[in-house]
Amino acid sequence: MKPADFSDLEIAEKLADAARAAILPYFRRVDLGAENKLDTGFDPVTEADRAAELAMRDILAQLRPDDGIHGEEFDAVEGRSGRVWVLDPIDGTRGFISGTPTWGVLIALSDARGPFLGIVDQPYIRERFVGTPDGAYVTGPLGRQALATRQSTDLSDAVLFTTFPELGSNEEEAAFRAVSSRVKLTRYGMDCYAYALLAAGLVDLVIEAGLKAVDIQAPIALIEAAGGIVTDWRGGPAHAGGRALAAANPQLHSAALEFLSGV
């Protein structure tokens, strides 16, 4: 088949399949090493991260040579089409090296307006959350199911996630705590899987800071396709990274934004 014979969704699925195949041989290997990308703090990268991104880049070079690539581990590729594939081969590498199955492969296709196609894939439990312009769905052990965000609008009934209890700066953490003190339940440490659960109607809010574009573009496409909303902490676009507020519906988004927008 010619490259033009494949739809964008088919290409995205091929990328996710290739990343799964590259990553799984490394997962829960007790001899897997991790390099630290930071001089202070800990931001690990492994052979699995690099192998998965290279596998996805190889497919794009063959099937979408005119598109750009923005990946986590290697230099950006400038395209000619105005479209960019945004790749995070393992979002949640800290969880990956700890053996938890809450990391994921993030794949987004974006244009000047932002991401419009997104996949959050969890290879180990074989769940794939997909957001398209036509809607959102998950495939996995229970088959294929349509996704829709929760419609509850009461902040006091909301379930809130963030990856780290200590969120960004002191001011950012205080703003997060202001929201957290008003919700029913706050949970931590799920990385990209929290966004997938929001799209599935199980979580109401995800609040993060210090994100990169590769961390948030696939979740944006997924959550918006499922009926939710993702912005920065002032209600603007979040696809460049930084601070992100993901909400199941506009009412909850507005309620949380009230405590975040002043930071």
Residues comprising the binding site?
A: 72, 88, 90-91, 215
Nearest-Å Rg of the Cα atoms of the chain is 18
Cite the annotated binding site for Mg(2+) by residue number: 72, 88, 90-91, 215
Residue 71's DSSP bridge partners are 87
Query: Distance between CA 249 and CA 173 in Å, rounded?
Result: 23
What strands lie across the sheet with 241-247, from one edge to the other? Answer: 185-188, 159-162, 205-212, 241-247, 229-231
Contact between residue 84 and residue 188 where contact means Cβ atoms under 8 Å apart? no
